[in-house]
Amino acid sequence: MIRAAVLPAVGSALEITGIELPEPGPGQVRVRLAAAGVCHSDLSLSNGTMRVPVPAVLGHEGAGTVVAVGEGVTHVAPGDGVVLNWAPSCGNCHPCGLGEVWLCANALTGAADVHARTADGTELHPGLNVAAFAEETVVAAGCVLPVPDGVPLTEAALLGCAVLTGWGAVHHSAQVRAGETVAVFGVGGVGLATLQAARIAGAATIVAVDVSPEKEELARAAGATHYVLASDSTAKEIRALTGGHGTDVAVECVGRATTIRTAWESTRRGGRTTVVGIGGKDQQVTFNALEIFHWGRTLAGCVYGNSNPAEDLPVLAEHIRAGRLDLSTLVTERITLEGIPGAFANMLAGKGGRALVVF
């Protein structure tokens, strides 16, 4: 038996309980978790904004040590440090064939599998494939990538979602160029990673936007040159900071219709807005046809940072080793499994950056 955070049903409170994991079968890997980040997507799974089979073990951003491997697994071995990849590409579907592995049509099929059982025999599913809110997990071989040299195992957990997403939003989706101006909406874990990515890209002006004045210090440490408290005048304030034009790029990390609209309005004519935040179906964003023509702006969705983890992790590792990317500054709270509900509450209240479950 190992301890895990189980979601019994959508909208229910998490239960910290013992579960029984099977031994890894062919093409599977068993991992002892070192740490798992608490992401807003986990909250979205628990409240039904995103749907997966339940009951489930949540958690999709993690890193740990390989305990055992099943038949046919050769790229990792017991004792190796690994990062969990919650969205492995199948390599065979249409998006994968186009090289857009972040849109793999089969990436989440594993979420319907039976992952483990409770003591009374209740079948559990792996929330987003990897079930990282547990002392150990068993995943498909495609869900693990070796931790790059020089990256601390505990902090490597952040590479599994927040950092790849923020990095990719800047470098793959928005394609920020040196000297450009950037606005980042939402200073949580992903937002802090996005700010660092914008700084690394050489952005000249980086405006962080959030509802909480307490996050200004975090934002500036990550690379923000300006901090704006979210209000009805946010777009005007950002244009004032950029010579009246607006930023070249806006990255929305919140997932709310009003924030998406404000991010779009904050960019210059011809500007680019990338939406990272995951919103509900009730969040409707509206534009009129004339303004779309007149402003010439682009609005793009961004899944997992439009990243290929196998290619991007070595790049991120080089920035970490060189001191350009600081994973520790994303973490504002280190907790146990029992602290996850409190981390969810902090998210809803707009408090802090990334909470990290440390085992």
DSSP secondary structure string for all residues of 23-90 = PP-TTEEEEEEEEEEE-HHHHHHHHTSS---SSEE---EEEEEEEEE-TT--S--TT-EEEE-SS---
- Calculate mean pLDDT across residues 282-310: 96
Spatial CB neighbours of 31, under 8 Å, sequence gap ≥ 6: 62, 64, 65, 66, 67, 82, 84, 136, 137, 138, 139, 144
| Residue 52 confidence (pLDDT) | 85
Cα–Cα distance for residue pair 98/112, rounded to 1 Å: 26
pLDDT of the residue at 13: 92
> Confidence class of residue 48 from pLDDT cuts 50, 70 and 90?
confident
Report whether pLDDT(51) > 90. no
Average pLDDT over residues 189-211: 98
Q: Which residues pair with 36 in a beta bridge?
A: 62, 357
pTM: 0.96
pLDDT for residue 274? 98
Residue 43, CA distances (Å) to 146, 159, 239 in order: 27, 19, 33
CA gap 231, 198 in Å, rounded: 23
Query: Mean pLDDT across the chain, nearest whole number?
Result: 96
Residue 184 · residue 159 · CB < 8 Å:
no
Task: Considering only CA atoms, give the Rg of the chain.
Answer: 20
Can you tell me the distance from the alpha carbon of 85 to that of 107, in angstroms, rounded to the nearest whole number? 10
Determine the pLDDT at residue 50: 85
Q: If DSSP codes are grouped into helix, strand and coil, which group holds residue 236?
A: helix
Residue 274: beta bridge partners? Answer: 251, 300
pLDDT (average), residues 11-33: 96
How many DSSP H helices and E strands does the chain contain? 11, 18
At residue 58, the pLDDT reads: 96
pLDDT digits (tens, 9 = 90+) for 280-293: 889 999 999 999 99
Residues with Cβ within 8 Å of 201's Cβ and at least 6 positions away in sequence, in order, are 170, 171, 176, 177, 178, 180
The answer to whether residue 323 scores a pLDDT higher than 90 is yes
How many CA atoms lie less than 13 Å away from 315 in the CB half-sphere? 15
**DSSP single-letter state for residue 175:** -
**Residue holding tokens 């491997």?**
69
Least confident of 47-51, 291-295, 311-315: 47-51
User: Concatenated DSSP letters for 102-142?
Assistant: GG-TTTTGGGGS--EEETT--EEEETTSS--SBSEEEEEGG
For strand 15-20 and strand 28-38, is the pairing parallel, antiparallel, or unpaired? unpaired
Q: What is the C-alpha to C-alpha distance for residues 352 and 218, in angstroms, rounded to an integer?
A: 9
Say what the pLDDT of residue 49 is: 87
Can you read off the two tokens belonging to residue 150? 């020089």
Residue 161 has a pLDDT of: 95
Of 51 and 248, more confident: 248
